[in-house]
Structure 1
Amino acid sequence: MSAIEINPPISIGIVLFPNVTQLDFTGPYEVFAKLPNTRLYLLAETLEPIKSDRGLTFLPDTSFAQSPPLDVLFVPGGPGIDAKLEDKNFLDFLKTQAQTARYITSVCTGSLLLGAAGLLQGYRATTHWLSLDLLRLFGVEVVPQRVVIDRDRITGGGVTSGIDFALVIAGELFGDAIAQSIQLGIEYNPQPPFNSGSPQTAPEAVINSVKAASQNRQDTRRKIIQKIVAQ
């Protein structure tokens, strides 16, 4: 009897941590979950429940110690990154997985964690618009675009760009037809009521308001990153 070759499933690991921004990963999760022959892993240091920055709670299904080698390493962002920027065990996990992953990826400020792990130095990448200057401190060529691809690094901008990012990943892994079918299936056809989703188009007063509300967090994060890059 002749053997039938069965390709192993694509493994996508979504790295979670306390105070993660849920839409950073739940948008991509919706896309990834519709991919053929794909296994998703919700990864965390332990299997304890993780609360997002807005209070939703999620259950990881795989610990870092139990994680298989990943085809796609995906790091979302959120306020909780500050506690992980200097977390050696967390960063070592990213470094280890990056050694064999086909794609090393992030959405929003997850790219700052990749930067802290030394995984974006010399690459083109993006992040949330408020943190583009912080990403640059890690030796990254910052590109203020929705999704940036540089070799095996794929990074998305802030929060909602995660869906665009995930569709790009879908196309890379399985081709445009699969990605387009998923896009249609989830009816991803954004028509926002306001043209203020980017600092290039938002009114100046809105930009200033968002900056002011984020100032303390950004100042704290800047100090952490400056300390890291000075070492």
Structure 2
Amino acid sequence: MADSTAPEQSRPLNIGMLLYPNFTLLDLAGPHAALGMHGMTHLLWKTMDPVWTDTGISINPTTTFANAPTDLDVIFVPGGHGTGDAMRDKDILEFLAAAAWSARFVTSVCTGSLLLAKAGLLEGRRAATHWAFYEPLEAMGIEASHDRVVVDGNRYTGGGVTAGIDFGLTLLAALKGEATAKFTQLAMEYDPQPPFKEGHPRTADPLVVQAARAATAEMNQQFVESARTMT
């Protein structure tokens, strides 16, 4: 039997990216910058109405759940402020479970992994998420990893927000080969040189980490409650 995850250089990718109210735009835009030039992107939602992100920018779906392709190479889930509500949305969870059944790669960035877990798609797997939200992932019995990108079989998960670019290039290498991923990185001029070392608690000033944890505590608790709620 052929390896369903082997790179296919010539065939355009078929990429499904979930939308939901109050997701984080960069969670989706970063991976799409890496993957989008190599195939067709389907922006998936219940209806064709615009979906508002958590920064006040709306995105137009291209395909409804009902009309989503069944031969996706990638099903992708972003994170964001709306993750807790999405974890309680039966329509979203049922769609993800169905889409993942036939997709070659089941993926997420940031708190999108909480949605994958809630849909039953990370059982027995390691997964990444935003550093402030390991607790809700662990509340669902998932081993939370502090790595920026985690690969566990055909489950690819990225850490918080900007990790989506690293995630996208890593996934692209699996889909199209390392040469294509390297070319894409150069085309994107992805050469990160952050002005500060505050991108993760392992390098950030403890006082900055303390302030960030306080700012995200209420959202973290909401996500934990959603993780423990039966849907």
Larger RCO of the pair (alpha carbons < 8 Å, separation 6+): 2
Query: Displacement, 1:174?
Result: 0.5
Shift of 1:41: 0.5
Higher Cα radius of gyration: 1
- Corresponding position of 1:42: 43
Q: 1:94, 1:138 → 2: CA distance?
A: 17
Q: Where in structure 2 are the equivalents of 1:62-141 lying within 5 Å?
A: 62-69=63-70, 70-141=72-143
Query: In the aligned structure 2, how far is the partner of 1:219 from the partner of 1:56?
Result: 26
The code of the aligned residue for 2:101 comes to Q
**Partners of 2:11 and 2:32 in 1: how far apart?**
20
Tell me which residue corresponds to 1:188: 190
Deviations along 1:158-178, one digit per CA (max 9) or x if unpaired, are 000000000011100010000
1:8 CA displacement: 5.3
Give the aligned partner of residue 34 of structure 2: 31
- Aligned partners of 1:75 and 1:17: how far apart in 2? 9
Residues 118 and 138, structure 1, Cα contact 8 Å, conserved in 2: no
Please state how far the C-alpha of 1:9 moved relative to its aligned partner: 3.3
Number of equivalences: 221
What's the CA shift string for 1:94-130, capped at 9, x where partnerless? 0001111110000000000000001001001110001
- Is the CA contact 1:9–1:39 (under 8 Å) kept in the aligned structure 2? yes
1:167–1:183 contact (8 Å) kept in structure 2: yes
- SS for the counterpart of 2:29 is helix
SS at match of 1:139: coil
The answer for the alignment partner of 2:4 in structure 1 is none
Q: Find the residue that maps to 1:90 and give its secondary structure.
A: helix
- Answer whether contact 1:14 1:41 (CA < 8 A) is retained: yes
| Cα offset, 1:227, TM superposition | 2.6
Percent of pairs identical after alignment? 44
**What RMSD in Å do the two structures reach over aligned CA positions?**
1.2
- 4+ aligned runs moved over 3 Å, structure 1: none
Q: Which deviations, in whole Å up to 9, do the C-alpha atoms of 1:73-101 show, x marking residues without a partner?
A: 00000011111112111100000011111
Partners of 2:19 and 2:82 in 1: how far apart? 10
Q: Is the 8 A contact 1:136 1:142 kept in 2?
A: yes
1:146 Cα deviation (Å)? 0.3
TM-score by length of 1: 0.93
Give the CA deviation at 1:10. 2.1
1:210-221 equivalences under 5 Å are: 210-221=212-223
Does the 8 Å contact 1:25/1:76 carry over to 2? yes
* 5+ long unaligned stretches in structure 1: 1-6
Output one character per residue of 1:147-203: Cα deviation in whole Å (capped at 9) or x when no partner: 000001000000000000000111000100000000001100000010110100000
The DSSP-based 3-state class of the residue aligned with 1:20 is: coil
Q: Distance in 1 between matches of 2:229 and 2:61?
A: 31
Q: TM-score, normalised by structure 2?
A: 0.93
Pairing 1:138-177 to 2, within 5 Å after superposition: 138-177=140-179
